[in-house]
Amino acid sequence: MLNHYLSIAVELVSGFVFLFIMTKLQGKTQFSQITPFDFISAIILGELVGNAIYDHEVKIGEIAFAVALWGVLVYVTETVTQKFIRSRKLLEGEPNIVVRKGKIKFEALKKAKLDINQLQSLVRQQGYFSLREVEYAIIETNGMVSVLPKADYDTPKNSDMKIKAEDPSLPVNMILDGEVVRENLKEAGLDEQWLKNELEKQKIHHYEDVLFAEWMENEPLFVLEYEKKAN
């Protein structure tokens, strides 16, 4: 009987150590940004260790192998999403704008599998207790909502200070990882010639040199270049 409990203890501690190492290798984003893929990953790893503890035929080496193999699969998947933009939508999902310029986008809400009451709850968690205060609301890939309030309801409230202000505009990603986001460019009513001209103003001649470019109405293009490698 003692050997039985000792065996369980050894397997449990070993599983804990293996999962802890794997979690550290995967990075801190696993804690703060749980995507559907991350959720599946957590379930699988938990099942691997849990089943191993109560299956006496499974040895510590087999637990280590299973966790390590799953870790390799996760690492490969994360590498793919970093190198290939088009894979991110499939593997990580994409944010959905459910409120645009103060109007609820019902199709986007339906796509995100949310109803009005759930949207109100998520908005309240961000400190806004009425949808009339919201200019933009975005459902992120981790299920949380990001809110950009109307100017009169921003902090401090301009209406309290009797200051007249224009409603804010939503930042739009124009370039990600050296590739133009043409859908966003078209939706903003702009074209690639405009984008090239804006980059030329900042002495940038190739999209591939740009890590990230963001545009806001009535603001210059915000550009972050890749760090140049030292010779």
Class of domain 172-225: alpha beta
What does the buried/exposed string (b/e) look like for 142-159 if buried means 16 or more CB atoms within 10 Å of the residue's CB?
Answer: bbebebbbbebbbeeeee
Global pTM reads 0.56
Under CATH, which number does the domain 95-153 receive?
A: 3.30.240.20
Q: In this predicted structure, what is the pLDDT of residue 32?
A: 46
The pLDDT value recorded for residue 136 is 95
Q: What is the pLDDT of residue 20?
A: 62
pLDDT of res. 45: 67
Q: Which residues contact 124 (CB under 8 A, 6 or more apart)?
A: none
C-alpha distances (whole Å) from 224 to each of 85, 195, 212 are 17, 14, 5
Note down pLDDT in tens along the chain; length 231 residues.
566 667 666 766 666 676 666 665 655 444 445 555 666 666 766 776 666 666 666 666 776 777 777 777 777 877 887 787 777 766 667 788 999 988 888 888 888 888 888 888 999 999 988 888 999 999 987 778 999 999 888 877 677 777 777 777 788 899 988 899 999 999 889 999 999 999 999 999 999 999 889 998 888 899 988 876 555
Omega of the bond leading into 171 within 30 degrees of 0 (cis): no
